[in-house]
Structure 1
Amino acid sequence: MSLLVTAGATLQCSFGAAPAPLSVLPAHCVMAGAPAATVMDNVPMMNVMPFGVCSCAANPTVAAATAAALGVLTPMPCVPVTAAPWAPGSPTVMIGGMPALQNASQLMCTWGGVITVIAPAQVTTMVP
């Protein structure tokens, strides 16, 4: 069993330099101390905040800065680009018709990073 993820959870990107909080709007009125998250809480700059600087060469800004520095990897500000929902969600717990977000879920960034939950913001509500 995994833990239910709520607003205020701490996220980390594999190419980011710093963790970032997860923001969840209380649209579905399901609370576990804070608003509970679903797999659709994946919108950049609304739910998923920047992770400091990005060091992935697939990111166009990093690629341009690296080329300008004659091939020396040059991290640039992170702007997450997430096109798909979190996966996997909880197969049995639904919130507003969407699977609940669990701490084992991952989110893929278009630039190549894998975003994971490093602290779910609550430790008492479990989801299968």
Structure 2
Amino acid sequence: MTALTGISPDHEARAGEISCRTGRPVRFSSWGVSVGPGSRLQRPEEALNALASWGLPIARKFRELCSERGWEVSLIIVQEFRNDDVLEKGIPLSPEVVETLAVAGAGVEIDQYVYH
């Protein structure tokens, strides 16, 4: 994925590698870019705009790789709402982002947590 997108992931793992978190073999490969405190992208919109900027040719390549290799492409967003964060307004999915995800054949998972 790094070679395809030109983007270095914030985390990646290959199936069978030993997880430094659990000490057990990782069951499946993953590649991800993080958003939020401590990451290079601070807001969901930044990551979604970056995703759309990769373009439809890359989205098509994702779909092709998934078909050839039995992979899955997923957009997973975990968002936390806190009392002191007045900027949080949800997750905007622009038409360009939706088109990119559709062309890639990507699943979307959004987990939102509200803390009072």
Query: Does TM, scored on the shorter chain, surpass 0.5?
Result: no
**TM-score w.r.t. length of structure 2:** 0.26
Q: Which has the higher helix share?
A: 2
**TM-score w.r.t. length of structure 1:** 0.24
